[in-house]
């Protein structure tokens, strides 16, 4: 999987907090409010409690979900805020909407 290429530059102390995540998403034109809502949705521990960071391993799983999951509830589908695309059950066409609200 392409995500495994990230392992070449893996830093075991790599964690991403909400500020780093917000800065990164701003580069792509995503608004601060939507990005922070997204981060709070997926930055949770095993008990469902809010965390203030995500680990590198969690980040890889979120990206994998974003590109490969057909389950709309998987957190990776919300990396950029609202669900961006979903597969139509009647075709192989992706149905997408813009989430660049500020």
Q: Which tens digits make up the pLDDT trace of 52-101?
A: 899 888 888 888 888 788 787 888 777 766 655 555 444 454 455 544 44
Structure letter (DSSP) for residue 44? B
pLDDT band at 49 (very low <50, low <70, confident <90, very high): very high
For the chain, give every domain's residue range. 14-96
Q: In 3D, which of 75, 100, 70 has the Cα closest to residue 85?
A: 70
Mean pLDDT of the chain: 73
Look-up of token digits 């922070």: 36
């Amino acid at each position: 999987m392409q995500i495994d290429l990230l392992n070449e530059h893996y830093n075991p102390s790599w964690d991403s907090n909400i500020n780093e995540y917000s800065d990164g998403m701003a580069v792509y034109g995503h608004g601060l409010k939507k990005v922070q809502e997204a981060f709070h949705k997926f930055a949770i521990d095993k008990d469902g409690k809010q965390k203030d960071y995500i680990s590198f391993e969690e980040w890889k799983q979120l990206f994998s979900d974003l590109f490969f999951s057909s389950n709309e509830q998987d957190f990776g589908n919300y990396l950029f805020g609202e669900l961006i695309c979903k597969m139509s059950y009647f075709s192989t066409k992706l149905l997408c909407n813009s989430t660049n609200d500020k």
